[in-house]
Amino acid sequence: MKHIISPLDLSVQDIDDILNLSENIITSPEKYAKVCQGKKLATLFYEPSTRTRLSFEAAMMNLGGNVLGFSSADSSSAAKGESVADTIRVISSYADICAMRHPKEGAPLVAAQYSSIPVINAGDGGHNHPTQTLTDLLTIKNLKGRLDNLTIGLCGDLKFGRTVHSLIRAMIRYENVKFVMISPEELRIPDYLKREVLDRENIPYEEVNVLEPVMPKLDLLYMTRVQRERFFNEEDYIRLKDSFILDAKKMKHAREDMLVLHPLPRVNEISTEIDDDPRAVYFKQAEYGVYVRMALIMKLLELDGDC
What's the min distance (Å) between Cβ of 56 and ligand NCD? 10
Q: Which stretch binds ligand NCD (CB under 6 A): 34-42, 112-120, 262-270, 290-298?
A: 262-270
Q: Minimum distance from CB of 148 to ligand NCD (Å)?
A: 24
Give the three-state DSSP class for 67: strand
Do residues 292 and 264 make contact, with C-beta atoms less than 8 angstroms apart? no
Based on the shown chain and the rule CB under 6 A, indicate whether residue 39 belongs to the binding site for ligand NCD: no
> Looking at residue 71, what DSSP letter applies?
S
User: From CA 255, how far away is CA 266, in angstroms rounded?
Assistant: 22
Position 264 contacts ligand NCD (CB under 6 A):
yes
Select the residue interacting with ligand NCD from 43, 71, 139, 163 (CB under 6 A): 163
- Residues annotated as catalytic (active site), given as ranges: 51-52, 80, 101, 129
- 123 counts as binding ligand NCD under rule CB under 6 A: yes
By CB under 6 A, residue 169 contacts ligand NCD: no
Residue 263 binds to ligand NCD (criterion: CB under 6 A):
yes
Residue 132 in contact with ligand NCD, rule: CB under 6 A: yes
129 binds ligand NCD (CB under 6 A): yes
Q: Which stretch binds ligand NCD (CB under 6 A): 18-26, 173-181, 259-267, 273-281?
A: 259-267
243 binds ligand NCD (CB under 6 A): no
Q: At residue 272, what are phi and psi to the nearest 5 degrees?
A: -65, -15
Quick one: 213 or 265, whose CB is closer to ligand NCD?
Answer: 265
**For residue 156, which amino acid is it?**
G
Considering only CA atoms, which of 235, 225, 24 is closest in space to residue 132?
A: 225
Q: Which parts of 152-218 fold into alpha helices (H)?
A: 162-171, 191-193
**Among candidates 13, 78, 14, which has minimal Cα distance to 44?**
78
The SS3 call for residue 65 is coil
